[in-house]
Amino acid sequence: MPIASTKNWVCKNLTIDLFQPLLVGILNVTPDSFSDGGQFVNTELASKHALKLVQDGAGMIDVGGESTRPGATRISAEEQINRVVPVIEQIRKHSNVPISVDTTLAEVARVAIEAGANVINDVASGTEDEEIFTLASTTGAGLVLMHRRLPPDKDVYSHEYREKSESDNIVADICSWLLTRVDVARSHGVQPEQIALDPGLGFGKSVEQNWQIVHQTEQFVRLGFPVYMGASRKSFIGATYNIDEPKKRDEASVEVAKRMA
């Protein structure tokens, strides 16, 4: 859900107006995502679901072909492309809705952009593949830079951490780290108006740290970039409200989103 102190986000061939929060519909075309894995591996079902999300108010669709849940197995670029490109093409045939591709690999992002995606949503912020920056620069695609403490294959759910984090101020640490990634992106020619920042709810943070991020959203907004945050159904919500089943966390997820808006 992007919110911002800047009011526009330039994403390839369009400029997204952020005078009010933009709701992003998440479309996981994966068999193993934590809340809906396997539901939308069929291209027709996935594209229909995306169009239904738009009908219900989504202003952007985020398509991901690799699960980023804790413990997830990494997927090759070829497999990600096979999963996401047919879906992006189908969505684009029927809608002009902005589309982001959730990937850490420039090879995947490049083909997705050719298929009609406008935004690269990189949960690794270029640390896995710096070519992401060059691609964003040359195509003009929007670029989401996200903070994570651990990659998915080394992570656990937020309520499963046994040791206290070394961070004394997780929000300040995230802000500092994200700005360093902005500097790297800009050194590759990415323009500031293309960039959005995601503090990365989950992704190596404890329950307490996730709530610190939620309650201090304004600190990220003050950095001057659109802020792209996703809390929906995440484990820190389940741990707080004692809801084990991710699909039953929707009402609580809405309440968390209201606190961030």
Distance CA 237, CA 232 (A): 8
| Residue 2 CB neighbour total at 10 angstroms | 23
Kindly report, residue by residue over 20-60, the tens digit of the pLDDT. 889 999 999 988 665 655 677 789 999 999 999 999 999 99
How far, in Å, are 114, 130, 155, 164, 196 from residue 142 at the CA level?
A: 14, 15, 27, 35, 8
Which amino acid type is present at position 214?
Answer: V
- pTM of this structure: 0.92
For residue 41 the two structure tokens come to 């591996």
Share of the chain above pLDDT 90, in %: 75
> Which whole number is the average pLDDT over 189-198?
97
d(Cα 210, Cα 214) in Å, to the nearest integer? Answer: 6
Q: How confident is the model at residue 164 (pLDDT cuts 50, 70, 90)?
A: low
- At residue 144, the pLDDT reads 98
Which residues are paired to 228 by β-bridges? 2
What pLDDT is stored for residue 96 in this prediction?
A: 96
Q: CB-based contacts of 139: which residues, under 8 Å, 6+ apart?
A: 12, 113
Average pLDDT, the chain: 91
State phi, psi for 156 to the nearest 5 degrees: -130, 170
Identity at 164, one-letter amino acid code? K
Higher-pLDDT residue of 193, 35: 193
Radius of gyration of the chain (CA): 17
pLDDT at 156: 74
Q: How many CA atoms lie within 13 A of 124 on its CB side?
A: 17
**Residue 189, Ramachandran bin (φ over 0: left; ψ between -120 and 50: alpha; else beta):** left
Distance CA 129, CA 246 (A): 31
Please give the average per-residue pLDDT across 109-138, as a whole number.
98
**What are residue 63's phi and psi, to 5 degrees?**
-105, 125
Percentage of residues in the chain having pLDDT higher than 70:
93
pLDDT the model gives residue 237: 93
Angle (CA) 220-186-117 rounded to 5° is 80
Q: What is the dihedral of CA 23, 2, 152, 172, to 10 degrees?
A: -150
